[in-house]
Structure 1
Amino acid sequence: MNIIPETLRAGSALAEDYVKGTGRVLELYGYHFRQAEDYKTRAKRLDEMETRRIDRQALVRCLRIYNEEHNAHVQVMESLNRLSQPDALVITGGQQSGLFTGQLLVIYKAATIIKAAQEAEQRLGRPVVPVFWIAGEDHDWDEVNHTYVMTGEPDAVKVRLRHQPERRNSVSYIPLSPAHKEEALLELERLLPDAEFKAEVLQQIRTAFMESTHLSDAFAKMLGRFFGRYGLVLLDSADPELRKLEAPVFRRMIESNEELGAAYQAAAEQIEEAGYQLQAEVTEGGANLFYIFKGERLLLYKQNGMYGDRRGYVRFSKEELLAELEQHPERFSNNVLTRPLMQDSLLPVLATVLGHGEISYWAITRRAFEVLGLEMPVLLPRMSFTLVEPNVRKHMEAFGLNFQNIMEGLEPLKDKWLKAQDPLHLEEEFAAFRQELFRLYTPVIERAGQIEKGLIRLGEKNRDRIAEQIDFMEERVRDALARKHETVLRQWDLIGISLLPLGRPQERVYSIYQYTSRYGDGLVHEMMSLPLDREHLHRTIYL
């Protein structure tokens, strides 16, 4: 395994500046991950705010029940014992519960959480426990019900869980039928290329999948299989038992809803004034809470002192909403802007591991933390990798390619290479022919128009038809050249489908099982041996 630091742009100027510590970002965030002293300051503040969080022992009991069911590793139970200690802190981060663990970035985020907890514990000399927050309360089913496989096709092929829920409910509440699970497993088996560990991988997935009623349960079992040995504690944000503990926090969010809304609006204005784009919508009159009504997750809004959804299914006064919370806390759910507040109200979060998009929208929440008497934690960018297999590396070297020029765009490089394979320079010949056609024919058309004006339009149409035929012939020549070099062009395509599938970074498309089927689980554990690298957050791993 050869590791090379690389640059992978985030697509968000705000996140880029936060990572670099440049621009006006320090006004928008509390601490910075590059400042060692900030971790010590944050730890001290967490000690002072212990009573503002949910009872630690009750939380540990809840997490123990969940992990005993889905993540029952000795090291996880030990992590929970450590979390029960009054001086224990947490490094956390989370993701939606995607099919077959979802995208590679989920694995990288979990690895970052564990590595950061280990490092912080050594630095601070006190327990720091890694916790992965499964965003099971999210309802975007189409975002989590699929993964992609690299086959012999020109691009990544989707494997989809074809179950379609009747209502827009939290993913952790959507039951899966055995038939739909079996269908997805068979589709994965069919598409996943034959490899040394394929049978073992399929059995691992089948065991977790078939023992689970919901997608989030299967996700937890698969994630635990990779990281339970490192003591990674799992938390499902839709866990009904956890929701009971969260009721006092929801009460504070409802009672302080006006102040929270004003805080989000003020932060949004500050971000835009600093020259950045908002990465999450801050809606005027939004309550930033969901209510689950007859199996459907409804976003609440405020109007004329009442709380309701846009379609008019529910309508509460503040007092009625608080009474409903008292009776049915399981019906309440966070949105993207209140989840950070809930996380900090449950856990003593030293730092939270985020992707660049998350870093951008977390800037909207800083003032809201203060409304609840809390404080934004240190935001730590997750580690990022691109896996390069030996045959892909061989082709890259043959064509003189490196990671950076591939990320800038492979197709232009491929087209340039193909043009260079034409010793007759026919593309130039066609261009000259086309230019000469216009040069010679245009004056003839103009002179014909002196005889009858309608001949000008007729001549132009005739000229354009001839140009179209030239284009057609040029395209056929290009196709013939591609067929002649078909074998080599497939090597170019392999580079693209491996490193930039669907035109996106690899870590945002493929599942880890694409690689463990070839290299075994040892690949993940080798990656766990890599240190955190705060200077080069993206690294290319040549397998």
Structure 2
Amino acid sequence: MPSECISYSETNYFTNLILDYLAQKPEVQKFYNRYPKIGNFRDQIEEKKASFSSEKRQVLVKVLEKQYDNVEISGATAENIKSLGDDNTFTVTTGHQLNLFSGPLYFLYKIVSTINLTTILKEKHPEYNFVPVYWMATEDHDFEEINFFNLKGKKFKWNNADKKAGKTAVGFLNTEGLQEVFNLFSAEIGVGKDASFLKNLFEKAYLEHDNLTEATRYLANELFKDYGLVILDAQEKELKKQFIPYAKNELLEQVSHKSTSKGLGELSNLGYNVQVSPREINLFYLTEDFRERIIEREGNYFVHDRENIKWSREEILRELDENPERFSPNVVMRPLYEEVILPNLCYIGGGGELSYWLELKDYFKAENVPFPMLLLRNSALIQTEKQREKREKLDISKKELFLKQHELINRKVRKISNIDIDFSPQKEQLVQQFQQMYDLAEKTDKTFLGAVKAQEVKQLKGLENLEKRLLKAQKRKLKDEVTRIANLQNALFPNGALQERQTNFSEFYAEFGEQLIPALVEYLNPLEENFKILTFRQD
């Protein structure tokens, strides 16, 4: 399968912070400990090994065995779970929301990046074991972000959902109401072997499991079990017990807010956008009916919008000890929770995720928890051979393909026209002519300068309008070429966005079948740090 690549900076889809992180610029280095080069992992291993106890490992293995009790598990995954009890085993982790039918395509890219990094690490350090972990965001409660997926330009939305949707953690939601989505999906996906596989996958995941957590575990396991992926739901009392000391510090000392304030200011002063602004307390109170943030006022603690739930200092600490599973970390504390309960070396995420992780180094230091390496997940554009051939015939370069559509079309129209549509020489000549008039005004009557300037602006504007009219006329003349360019880019960039952030994997699985995931595993190397363009052959 042919593959090409383009730098992340050339795509124009990544923030300055992420680009500067990838470039390892000195001003960004203060926000992380080790950059994820293969040579840096041994030090990360030694640091994590010294801080992660055998007792934590045993709890982790016990929880995972319970969670996989009713799941058809592969030998590779079973071996990975067992190996987590060994002091020489470490994890590489990615996290993702419980999006309906996995959501956008980059769900696959995250997990493939994680699997591939563990393979690379095992080759480099055969004396250790490395386990790929998918952390399910079961405690998130933003239902509107996860209740749909896009297929062939259509939006499939979970409308008849649990009445608690949007109020409590999505992992608790029952899967009632998804029969309708399944029926619509089945009609759209078509027929054939690969379509049948997808229908069966959706049906078994969502119609034969009671809640969204179990459905998502089944889905991810079916797609990646052969690669030894371990799927974790961290909403477990035994795991939350290990987080009690850190939750206590948050309630009493507001450690996350205080420790991140300086770093947030430094990032802002460097011109980077702050991804997450911590609250004074970054914990939610979680039940099967609601998930609401905890607020402290004058020594007492409340649940937002539920003033009837109130604790004194002593009462909330007792509640934490007795029911730690009810204390849910938000986006600021979740990374710390992850690193407390996993023997983790590296977190793999998208640009937005890495941006907020880079805000948290001082928080980890304050809590004396090793800060993991941060690796940008793979990004890719999937095209067919026919689409690649069309792009070549239209003479669209890799870099041009990522331009905004009006920029791309204007550039190509200028290039293929048999007349010069660029009036830059005329504009430059006009500016030179007016410079002579400025010189004349300076020597005679300076009050004349304003009139000269106004006339210059008017005439330059006139040239710009003529240029635009000529370009518009050429677009009409070259209508066929313009249409082909627009159609190709629309197919590869649905809704004018990156394909991986819009389209569900099922669209590509229906087209390319069983080769899809193995091909991604083969061609996506998370340490290469470039944007891949993958060309699939249609059967």
> CA–CA distance in 1 between the matches of 2:221 and 2:302?
38
User: Match for residue 214 of structure 2?
Assistant: 217
The structural deviation recorded for 1:507 is 0.7
Q: Are 2:63 and 2:238, in contact at CA under 8 Å, matched by a contact in 1?
A: no
Q: Are 2:242 and 2:340, in contact at CA under 8 Å, matched by a contact in 1?
A: no
Alignment deviations for residues 74-125 of structure 1 (CA, whole Å, 9 cap, x no partner)? 2110111111112211111110011111111110110111111111122222
> CA–CA distance in 1 between the matches of 2:416 and 2:33?
56
User: Match for residue 432 of structure 1?
Assistant: none
Letter matched to residue 140 of structure 1: D
Would the alpha carbon gap of residues 266 and 304 (structure 1) be closer, same or farther in structure 2, given more than 3 Å must change?
A: farther
User: Match for residue 15 of structure 2?
Assistant: 12
> Which SS does the other structure have where 1:295 is aligned?
coil
> CA–CA distance in 1 between the matches of 2:311 and 2:528?
50
Would the alpha carbon gap of residues 381 and 165 (structure 1) be closer, same or farther in structure 2, given more than 3 Å must change?
A: same
Which has the higher mean CA deviation after the structures are superposed, 71-80 or 208-217? 208-217
Alignment deviations for residues 168-189 of structure 1 (CA, whole Å, 9 cap, x no partner)? 1111011121xx2111112222
Would the alpha carbon gap of residues 114 and 279 (structure 1) be closer, same or farther in structure 2, given more than 3 Å must change?
A: same
User: Match for residue 27 of structure 1?
Assistant: 30
> Which SS does the other structure have where 2:132 is aligned?
strand
User: Match for residue 443 of structure 2?
Assistant: none
Would the alpha carbon gap of residues 536 and 379 (structure 1) be closer, same or farther in structure 2, given more than 3 Å must change?
A: closer
Alignment deviations for residues 502-542 of structure 1 (CA, whole Å, 9 cap, x no partner)? 22111111111110111112211122123625343311101
Which residue among 524, 532, 541 is the counterpart of 2:517? 524
Which residue among 240, 249, 261 is the counterpart of 2:243? 249
Which residue among 332, 343, 347 is the counterpart of 1:348? 343
Give the TM-score, by structure 2 length. 0.82
Equivalence map 1:239-388=2 (5 Å): 242-257=236-251, 258=253, 259-283=255-279, 286-293=280-287, 295-313=289-307, 314-388=309-383
User: Match for residue 111 of structure 1?
Assistant: 112
User: Match for residue 79 of structure 1?
Assistant: 80
Would the alpha carbon gap of residues 70 and 290 (structure 1) be closer, same or farther in structure 2, given more than 3 Å must change?
A: farther
User: Match for residue 229 of structure 1?
Assistant: 226
Letter matched to residue 142 of structure 1: E
Q: Are 2:115 and 2:227, in contact at CA under 8 Å, matched by a contact in 1?
A: yes
Would the alpha carbon gap of residues 492 and 213 (structure 1) be closer, same or farther in structure 2, given more than 3 Å must change?
A: farther
User: Match for residue 129 of structure 1?
Assistant: 131
> CA–CA distance in 2 between the matches of 1:54 and 1:365?
26
Would the alpha carbon gap of residues 68 and 489 (structure 1) be closer, same or farther in structure 2, given more than 3 Å must change?
A: farther
Would the alpha carbon gap of residues 325 and 541 (structure 1) be closer, same or farther in structure 2, given more than 3 Å must change?
A: same
Q: Are 1:117 and 1:128, in contact at CA under 8 Å, matched by a contact in 2?
A: yes
Letter matched to residue 237 of structure 2: R
Q: Are 1:54 and 1:346, in contact at CA under 8 Å, matched by a contact in 2?
A: no
Which has the higher mean CA deviation after the structures are superposed, 273-282 or 339-348? 273-282
The structural deviation recorded for 1:423 is 11
Alignment deviations for residues 278-333 of structure 1 (CA, whole Å, 9 cap, x no partner)? 111223xx211110256111012333223324424333233222222233233221
Matched, 1:147 2:149: yes
The structural deviation recorded for 1:35 is 5.8
Percent of residue pairs bearing the same amino acid type: 22
User: Match for residue 171 of structure 1?
Assistant: 170
Q: For the aligned residues, what is the CA RMSD?
A: 2.9
User: Match for residue 50 of structure 2?
Assistant: 48
> Which SS does the other structure have where 2:369 is aligned?
coil
Letter matched to residue 11 of structure 1: F
User: Match for residue 67 of structure 1?
Assistant: 68
User: Match for residue 431 of structure 2?
Assistant: none
The structural deviation recorded for 1:149 is 1.2
> CA–CA distance in 2 between the matches of 1:323 and 1:100?
39
> CA–CA distance in 1 between the matches of 2:5 and 2:72?
33
Q: Are 1:256 and 1:371, in contact at CA under 8 Å, matched by a contact in 2?
A: no
Which has the higher mean CA deviation after the structures are superposed, 341-350 or 298-307? 298-307
Alignment deviations for residues 379-434 of structure 1 (CA, whole Å, 9 cap, x no partner)? 11111111011232232122211332121112343467689999999xxxxxxxxx
Alignment deviations for residues 195-226 of structure 1 (CA, whole Å, 9 cap, x no partner)? 76222322222222222222332222121112
Give the TM-score, by structure 1 length. 0.81
The structural deviation recorded for 1:372 is 2.2
Letter matched to residue 197 of structure 1: D
Q: Are 1:6 and 1:536, in contact at CA under 8 Å, matched by a contact in 2?
A: no
Q: Are 2:172 and 2:288, in contact at CA under 8 Å, matched by a contact in 1?
A: no
User: Match for residue 183 of structure 2?
Assistant: 186
Q: Are 2:38 and 2:121, in contact at CA under 8 Å, matched by a contact in 1?
A: no
Letter matched to residue 332 of structure 1: F
> CA–CA distance in 2 between the matches of 1:490 and 1:69?
53
> CA–CA distance in 1 between the matches of 2:523 and 2:75?
23
> CA–CA distance in 2 between the matches of 1:299 and 1:49?
30
> Which SS does the other structure have where 1:521 is aligned?
helix
> CA–CA distance in 1 between the matches of 2:407 and 2:512?
32
Letter matched to residue 4 of structure 1: E
User: Match for residue 505 of structure 1?
Assistant: 498
> CA–CA distance in 1 between the matches of 2:296 and 2:401?
48
> Which SS does the other structure have where 2:370 is aligned?
coil
> CA–CA distance in 2 between the matches of 1:381 and 1:54?
31
> CA–CA distance in 1 between the matches of 2:334 and 2:133?
15
Would the alpha carbon gap of residues 353 and 417 (structure 1) be closer, same or farther in structure 2, given more than 3 Å must change?
A: closer
The structural deviation recorded for 1:267 is 2.3
> CA–CA distance in 2 between the matches of 1:147 and 1:312?
33
> CA–CA distance in 1 between the matches of 2:68 and 2:104?
22
Q: Are 1:422 and 1:481, in contact at CA under 8 Å, matched by a contact in 2?
A: no
Letter matched to residue 14 of structure 2: G
> CA–CA distance in 1 between the matches of 2:398 and 2:181?
33
> Which SS does the other structure have where 1:529 is aligned?
helix
User: Match for residue 395 of structure 2?
Assistant: 400
Equivalence map 1:490-501=2 (5 Å): 491-501=484-494
Would the alpha carbon gap of residues 275 and 490 (structure 1) be closer, same or farther in structure 2, given more than 3 Å must change?
A: closer
Alignment deviations for residues 2-45 of structure 1 (CA, whole Å, 9 cap, x no partner)? 11111334532222211121141111111111261x21111111
- Unmatched runs of 5 consecutive residues or more in structure 2: 421-468
Would the alpha carbon gap of residues 294 and 77 (structure 1) be closer, same or farther in structure 2, given more than 3 Å must change?
A: closer
Q: Are 2:59 and 2:238, in contact at CA under 8 Å, matched by a contact in 1?
A: no
User: Match for residue 409 of structure 1?
Assistant: 404
> CA–CA distance in 2 between the matches of 1:481 and 1:274?
46
Would the alpha carbon gap of residues 11 and 266 (structure 1) be closer, same or farther in structure 2, given more than 3 Å must change?
A: same
> Which SS does the other structure have where 2:358 is aligned?
helix
> CA–CA distance in 2 between the matches of 1:201 and 1:250?
41
Would the alpha carbon gap of residues 359 and 235 (structure 1) be closer, same or farther in structure 2, given more than 3 Å must change?
A: same
Aligned length: 479
The structural deviation recorded for 1:165 is 4.1
> Which SS does the other structure have where 1:528 is aligned?
helix
Alignment deviations for residues 109-148 of structure 1 (CA, whole Å, 9 cap, x no partner)? 1011111111112222211111110111111111111111
